[in-house]
Structure 1
Amino acid sequence: MSAAEVKKGNANQGVGFGEAAEPSQKQFDYEKDELFYCTPLVIFRVEDRLFRIPQELLETHSEVFRTMFTLPTGQDGGDSGEGRSESKPLYLEGVKKTDFRNFLQVLTALNYEDITPGKTRGKTYLMMSRFPLYHDLNTDDWIAVLRLATMWNFDNVRSKAMRVLEEDTSIYLLDRLKLAYDLDITSSSWLLPIYRNLVKREVPVTQKEAPWLSDDFIKKITRLREERLKSLLVSLLSEDVPKPTCYKCKNRLYRPASKDLVLSGGAPRWDMFCKSCNMLIGLDEAIHGSPALEKEEKNFENDLDQLIDLFLPTSKND
């Protein structure tokens, strides 16, 4: 069928692109389809790069952008306002172009993941639009995505970034806690592993190590550490629990005299002492050398989580 025939249409089939009648004043009041009447493209400038993306992609998921798009875009309005042409892009101040690009990759890919669950493995592009997915994003990229999602209230992108970063073991413990402070992260899945590690690690956390921590937080962590150590020491002194042994000579370990305790940050290290090897062995290392003490430690894990929840409450969902 020729282009002319397509335009003319087939009266029998009722299909074609015939000439529309000259609209009268009344005909301008058309109904807009709720699904297929798309919002226009909007142009942003981020540093020295332009981005041209569907307005709907942003306003659907963010109250911040929904509000922004309702504001006047210029004296002329319409297609001549800000964000409608390359000469008048909307400028995103304080945002890096690579961070914004990575943010858009995650945002555009989330809908694809929702539509095709379990089928994204091995794919690197959206087949229709050629939007790249986010398989190559590193830790710093995901942190930047999380910051932008938080700043602009994109809950779906924020949740995705948090899930990825929760599984990233390369992030230092206190860096992870600092992110929670900066970005108002309160979920137990993010915070509870951090609190457990701070309570169980050999050296107590101090404000010198993390100046942004409050005195109140450090006091609570210190109290939780004391509760854990008390529980372990009670087990060590119990006649029912076999004493830990040295991993080198297999002889019994003893608690050193108070004067021999090694001080660190003003707090004692709760070490065990091997008389045969004449050396100190960390309490956690000693626990792992005693199956009975390991069992006691695991039994205390549930109590520890309850204590953490009492001292440092978290939420089930962020």
Structure 2
Amino acid sequence: MSGPMSEDELDQVVTNIELLELQASALPPETAPNSGPQPEPEAEGGRFAFPRHILKQSDFFRDMLTSTHIGGGGEGTEINPIVPDSISQVTKFQIESFYRVVDHRGFQGQLVLSQPQWFAALKLATAWNFDQVRQFIIQELDFVAVDPFDRIRIADECRVPEWLRPALARLCARKSDLTAAEGRALGYERFAAICRIREMEKLGSSPEKNRAHECCNSKCPR
């Protein structure tokens, strides 16, 4: 068994995450405006290097890095990268977006990302249990104008139930009717509930305080 890592090794970017199945249809990185040079992730092929202290912010990686097997000096290096099975579907775009957020030192100043970048970073922060990073992203997205369908989709995928009611209320109040494609995106129960509420409001029989209550309770994540 390898001995404990030296201080020099700990200071290096020693932990690599290999992307086993990078999707060919993955969104390419988008250029976002920024106030200065932005550091880029170290990458070669399908591997990304992260400082160990960053990964230890996550319960997912902390347990892995302190285990008897993976915590050894020979693991998590460029030669022997850590390859968790559960991240095999992660894309390069998601990793790059997540890196931009975690490298935003101390979460100080303004970090400007596109909506797809924010969403991609939130997905990984949620999947990998980076609680502080996840909360930071959610707070940033609270002030971003997001299409209600995107807001609902991400709320379901990333377990952000507080986004559902405002987004559904916007759909209930929308002047134009929902399309069949939008109904499929919402799911039958939510689509039916929104249609009922919209019809009731047209007839003047739906109290304002009940708007979106019915559809928010339809297929909400538990």
TM-score by length of 1: 0.48
Structure 1 residues 175 and 43, CA gap change in structure 2 (3 angstroms): same
Q: Helix, strand or coil: the match of 2:182?
A: coil
User: Which residue matches 1:211?
Assistant: 184
8 Å CA contact 1:39, 1:56 repeated in 2: no
- Counterpart code for 1:66: R
**Structure 2 residue ranges without an equivalent (≥5):** 1-6, 20-44
Work out which of the residue numbers 132, 148, 151 in structure 1 matches 2:127. Answer: 151
Distance in 2, Cα, partners of 1:176 & 1:106: 20
2:143 is equivalent to residue 167 of structure 1: yes
Q: 1:66 aligns with which of 62, 65, 70?
A: 62
CA separation of 1:196/1:110 partners in 2, compared to 1, >3 Å: closer, same or farther? farther
Structure having the higher Rg:
1
Structure 1 unaligned runs (5+)?
A: 1-36, 114-119, 122-133, 235-299
Structure 1's 191 and 305: CA in aligned 2 closer, same or farther, altered over 3 A?
farther
User: Is the contact made by 1:39 and 1:54 (CA closer than 8 Å) also made in structure 2?
Assistant: no
Report percent identity of matched pairs.
Answer: 26
CA distance in 1, matches of 2:107, 2:141: 21
Taking the aligned partners of 1:78 and 1:66, their CA distance within structure 2 comes to 13
Residue 139 in structure 1 maps to residue 115 in structure 2: yes
Aligned length, in residue pairs: 182
User: Which residue matches 2:78?
Assistant: 86
RMSD: 3.2
Does the CA contact (< 8 Å) of 1:146 and 1:158 recur in 2? yes
SS at match of 2:15: strand
Are 2:93 and 2:120, in contact at CA under 8 Å, matched by a contact in 1? Answer: no
Q: Say which of 164, 168, 171 aligns to 1:195.
A: 168
Where 2:16 maps in the other structure, the secondary structure is strand
Cα pair 2:18 2:81 within 8 Å, conserved: no
- Name the SS of the counterpart of 1:78 in structure 2: coil
**Residue 44 of structure 1 aligns with which residue?**
16
**1:207 touches 1:213 (CA, 8 Å); kept in 2?**
no
Cα shift at 1:63: 1.6
**Cα pair 1:46 1:97 within 8 Å, conserved:** no
Q: Choose the corresponding residue for 1:55, options 52, 55, 58.
A: 52
Name the aligned partner's letter for residue 102 of structure 1: S
CA distance in 2, matches of 1:186, 1:90: 33
CA distance in 1 between partners of 2:172 and 2:211 (Å): 11
Aligned counterpart, 1:100? 95
Matched, 1:109 2:65: no
